[in-house]
Chain A
Amino acid sequence: MEKWENNKAWFLILPVFIIVAFSSIIPLMTVVNYSIQDIWGPGQSVFVGTEWFREMLANKRLHDALWRQFLFSGLVLLIEMPLGILIALAMPKKGWKVSACLVIIALPLLIPWNTIGTIWIIFTRPDIGLFGAAINNLGIAFDHTARPLDAWITLMLMEVWHWTPLVTLLAYAGLRAIPEVYYQAAKIDGASAWATFRYIQLPKMRGVLTIAVLLRFMDSFLIYAEPFVLTGGGPGNSTTFLSIYLVKIALLQFDLGPGGAFSLIYFLIVLLFSYLFYQVLQRAGKGEKV
């Protein structure tokens, strides 16, 4: 719509601006501050310029965490996107069943993230967990505390269980927005279910699916609580993703300098991808006018 031009609109934005600035700019300044100094005691620090950045960028542990992170986020998208869409396609369109389905599907999203980790720790233990016991009964020695592969499998199961509903809900919203006439015309044109999906449903879901990809990539890239509770980053370092590594350095080891530099690098990567995805989103929004 045609918007009014008026800089006084800033007054309406001011509260939001203040709160978010308070929550983000001030802390960020602190981080920047740390990233360029070597602090070894209260009030005792020396300016070291880009030393921490160089050190972090060369840090092998950081590289490993980064690759692990990309692998994780990639797998997340590969599994959750098709699965979420499939389920959305199967969901009912009208009646009481819709509400019931929405409640069940949304349930995993409303569980505190540490509880999620707890649920899955218990669930996969061979001695007291249903999944763990079942797998072991089949003769497979499954132990996510000992073997990296098992840890990854458990992690992916938990992650898919937890977040696919988000994709499903978004895809469902997109599907419901498609007017019935499109399906009617497709019927008359003799289109198969696959053709209907490929030429009508998928194109019309482009907007919501972009949002879904954006949200899932970002959130999986920043993930902390669930893997931390489940594996603590182990066994060894095999499930230490970027956030976990950062918290270890900054909060636990209190290496403020490296932590600060790492934080900024991390944030920059996220910003880069945000920007890319945002552009794609904008273009998708402009192109789609039903």
Chain B
Amino acid sequence: MARIELSEVSHSYYAKPKNESDYALKRIQAIWEDGGAYALLGPSGCGKTTLLNVISGLLTPSQGRVIYNGKDITDLPPEERNIAQVFQFPVLYDTMSVFDNLAFPLRNRGIKENEVKKRVLDVAEILDLIPFLKKRAAGLAADAKQKISLGRGLVRSDVAAVLFDEPLTVIDPHLKWHLRRKLKEVHEQLKLTLIYVTHDQVEALTFAEQVLVMYEGELVQTGTPQELFENPTHKFVGYFIGSPGMNFLSCNVDGNCAQVDSVSIVLNDEMAAKASKAKGTLELGIRPMYLEAHPQSVKGSVPAKVKSVEDQGSFKILTVSLSGHTLRAKLPESQTVPQNEAWLRFPTQRTKLFEDGHLII
């Protein structure tokens, strides 16, 4: 099977990189356990595809080692690793039938024809491709083509991990759900390690057991969807996950209060203690669904001006301005919506403090 580990992996596309920004990947340390379903989440250009290509061997990293099951395979070419990769748009051999497409990786490796036939039929069964086997691959719809791409990966009996690079990009929206379900079925049946790259947090959070968030070439946080939502260790994770993302207010700490310009927000003791020791830029963070917005003043609340209200059906998004900073609160349908003025309360157990983008408490 496959336990994949990246040790101190950095990569630059430049022959002679001069500084940090020339690197597409910066000091990546990560472990993907055998049989897990992982998502690699991040905005466009953050290095996800580069990382995937390092794992599969299409790219050799400028620095660092790639280790499969304890064995250093950094210098091994892709065809000798037990991985398969599915790309953003379907890659097929147009002149061949579906059957021959699926058989291709096996025939290249010299597998006997009756074994080839058996494997192809097995995989075609799992992916519902049996009725298409005799047809020319070029004439099929995008989702069928992606299934064939996946099939070419699964057909090799030694495959231990499958890498996906935003595979649903060209699929019709109403078919995406179907394919995602198929992927989950494959995972449960074959117990392979799956690593799924995407910039869509919904895809990542619903598909994966563990999510790795990437930002500007660095692995910012790894955890379950729940952990990432509740305890973002990096400002970017807070911002990227959740819709809308976390609110941030830059502040100074004065005693046991956070000062946002002229407004004071009470912190609990532990937070205040950590904050006073901090040397970098401080920011207060709170998720819209935890930010309380009341129509009139309550204990511990601060006044803010209401800018707009969006009705999203089961909830409303309230946009307010606090001392010139824009905040968003997610209000349940039943709650009264403040009109011109809202009184905001920051529950201390839901409020986070970040120093230079990193979580301190």
Contacts and interface: CB of A to CB of B under 8 A. Distances in A.
Interface string B61-87: 000000000000000011100011101
B94 interface: yes
A189 B79 contact: yes
A199 interface: yes
A234 B77 CA distance: 58
A49 B94 CA distance: 54
A189 B103 CA distance: 10
Interface stretch (A14-22, A177-185, A264-272, A274-282): A177-185
B108 A192 contact: yes
Contacts of A184: 53, 58, 78, 85, 87, 91
Contact of A188 (B79, B88, B94, B138): B79
Given A190-B108, A195-B108, A185 B91 contact: yes
Contact of A185 (B53, B83, B94, B149): B149
A191 B104 contact: yes
Contacts of A200: 93
A187 interface: yes
Q: Is the interface of A mostly helix, strand, loop or mixed?
A: helix
Which of B77, B105, B152 gathers the greatest number of chain A CB atoms within 10 Å? Answer: B105
Contacts of A203: 93-95
Contacts of B149: 185
Contact of B109 (A185, A190, A199, A288): A190
Contacts of A182: 91
Interface string A151-190: 0000000000000000000000000000001101101111
A187 B108 contact: no
A193 to B, nearest CB: 12
Contacts of B108: 189-192, 195
B50 interface: no
B93 A181 contact: no
Contacts of A191: 104, 108
Nearest to A191: B108
B85 A185 contact: yes
Nearest to B163: A188
B87 to A, nearest CB: 5
B88 A181 contact: yes
B95 A187 contact: no
A224 to B, nearest CB: 39
A196 B149 CA distance: 16
Nearest to B94: A203
Nearest to B149: A185
A188 B109 contact: no
Given A181-B88, A185-B85, A190 B79 contact: yes
B89 interface: yes
A185 B150 CA distance: 11
A200 B153 CA distance: 18
Contacts of A192: 108
A78 to B, nearest CB: 23
Interface string A197-219: 00110011000000000000000
B186 interface: no
Nearest to A198: B95
Interface string B143-156: 00000010011000
A189 B94 contact: no
Contacts of B95: 199, 203
Contacts of B104: 189, 191, 199
Contacts of A287: 138
Given A187-B77, A199-B96, A181 B91 contact: yes
A287 B138 CA distance: 9
B79 A181 contact: no
A287 B108 CA distance: 27
B193 interface: no
A185 B57 CA distance: 12
Contacts of B138: 287
A204 B84 CA distance: 23
A187 B93 contact: no
Contact of A181 (B84, B89, B153): B89
B301 interface: no
Given A184-B85, A184-B87, A185-B149, A190 B105 contact: yes
B56 interface: yes
A187 B78 contact: yes
7 contacts: A184-B78, A185-B149, A185-B152, A188-B85, A190-B79, A192-B108, A199-B96
Given A199-B95, A203-B93, 18 more contacts: A181-B91, A184-B53, A184-B87, A184-B91, A185-B87, A187-B77, A188-B78, A188-B79, A188-B83, A188-B85, A189-B104, A190-B105, A191-B104, A192-B108, A199-B96, A199-B104, A203-B94, A203-B95
Interface of B: 53, 56, 58, 77-79, 83-85, 87-89, 91, 93-96, 104-105, 108-109, 138, 149, 152-153
